[in-house]
Structure 1
C-alpha cells in the first residue's frame, strides 16, 4: 500500500519501516541542528518523539532553523516542531518537554521509553550529563559537536569522540568523558577551523537582543554569540538523523511487503 514513506520502504524494507514506526527518539535541543534531526526522522517514518527545549523561536533563528518563520516567532520551538511532525505524519506520538536538559533535572525524563537519544544541546555540562545518563540507562546516543562559526558543511564527519580532531568542543568533551570513564561516544563533528565572527555590535545579539517577550534566557546572558548559516547546522542534523535511522534498523533484514490477493 502506498504511504508517505513508500519511497523509503523501497530501500529499507517493510520490517525496517515497522521498526522505525515503533521507535521513540528523544531529541534534546530543537535548534539549528536538532530541528533538522526531527524533520528527517519524521520523514523517515520514526513514529514517536520526545522533544526537549525551553526556547522560543527568535527573529535571528530564521537564517538556519527549519521551524523558524515570521509566523512562528515567539512560539515555543517544541510546539512548532510537534505541529510540523504531525503535518508530516498525523499518526506520530509527540511529547514535548518545555525545559532545558540540565544536570539538575537529568532524572526527570522517561528514559525507559527511549530507543535512541540525540544530543543537540549547546552547553558542555548538559552534554556530559546527557551522555552519562544515556550510558547509565543503556540507551544509544549520538552527540552533535560545534556547528557555529563554520561555512563548509562538507567537512562534517561521523566518528567516535576519541578519534575527533580540530573541533574545540570535541576536545573538551574528550577530556571530560575520559575523566568519567566513558569509553566511546558516536559524534558528528567538523574539522573546519572556526571562523571568528565580525565584531559589529550593530548586528550582534550581545547588545541588541531580540528574543521574544517572556523568553527565560536572553542572548545578553551568553558568553559569546556565534555566527551561523543555513547550510551548516542543517547538514549536521541530517547526518545525525541518518545515523539514528541506520542504527535503529541495522539488525532488521530488508524484506518486501507481502502482496495481497
Structure 2
C-alpha cells in the first residue's frame, strides 16, 4: 500500500476510504473558494475529479487563489489544476471542462455521472441553474455563498439554506429556489456583515471588483470539501 494516503486510511478506516477513492466529484469554479475545496478533496483521496472553469489566472488572483502563482499567471485555471492534482495523486482521474456554466450551456455536463457536486461559482444564473439541475439529477450539491467583503473565518457555517441570514447572495438564492420548488440546499455561508471597502474597488484596467482576502475564501473552501466528504462517507 502506498504511503500517500496512509494517514487518511488510518483516520477514516479502509472501508470508508474506499468510498472516497471510488467517488467522482465535480468542482464548479476554481477561484478563492473552489481552489481550496479542490485541493482538500484531492488530498483526501477522492478517486475522480472534474474541474469546471472558463478563466485564465490573473495577477489579481494571487492574494487569495491557491492555483495563482507568479509562474501560473496567464495559464488556464483548469489546466493548472489538472497539473497540480496529478502531482498530488498520479492515479487520480481528472477531467477538465473550460466552460462558463450558464443556463444556456448547462446541457454540456451530465450531472448524473457525479456522486457529489461542489459549487463555487460567482455567476448567479449559473449558480441557480446548477442547483436546479442537481435537484433534477438527484445529485448531492453543496453550494458556497458569498465570501467577499468578509474578514471573520470563525463565522463560516454549513447548514441548509433555510437557516441563512445576512448574506445577500444566500437571500437571493433562497428566494429564487423557493419560486422553483426547491426548499433544501446545503450551503456554506457566513452571517458576518460585509466590511466596507477601504480603498478603490477598481483595478488598473478600470474593472470593478469585490474586495476579498486570503483567509475567508480558503476556510469556506475547506468547509465545502468537508461537507462533500462527510456526505460521501455517510452513504
Deviation at 1:108, TM superposition (A): 1.1
2: CA distance, partners of 1:83 / 1:152: 32
The count of aligned residue pairs is 235
Deviation at 1:2, TM superposition (A): 4.4
* Equivalent residue, structure 1, for 2:38: 38
Q: Per-residue displacement from partner, 1:26-76 (whole Å, max 9, x unpaired)?
A: 111000000001000000000111100011110011011111100000000
* Equivalent residue, structure 1, for 2:57: 57
Which 4+ residue blocks in structure 1 deviate beyond 2 angstroms? 198-201
* Equivalent residue, structure 1, for 2:135: 135
Check if 1:238 corresponds to 2:227: no
* Equivalent residue, structure 1, for 2:232: 248
Please list every run of 5 or more consecutive structure 2 residues that lacks an aligned counterpart in the other structure: none
CA RMSD, Structure 1 to Structure 2 (Å) = 1.2
1: CA distance, partners of 2:186 / 2:20: 20
2: CA distance, partners of 1:102 / 1:90: 31
2: CA distance, partners of 1:187 / 1:228: 19
* Equivalent residue, structure 2, for 1:121: 121
Q: Per-residue displacement from partner, 1:144-194 (whole Å, max 9, x unpaired)?
A: 000011111111111110110011110101111110000200000011100
SS at match of 2:187: strand
Please list every run of 5 or more consecutive structure 1 residues that lacks an aligned counterpart in the other structure: 210-218, 252-261
2: CA distance, partners of 1:25 / 1:172: 26
Report 1 or 2 for greater relative contact order, CA contacts < 8 Å, sequence distance ≥ 6.
Answer: 1
Larger Rg: 1 or 2? 1
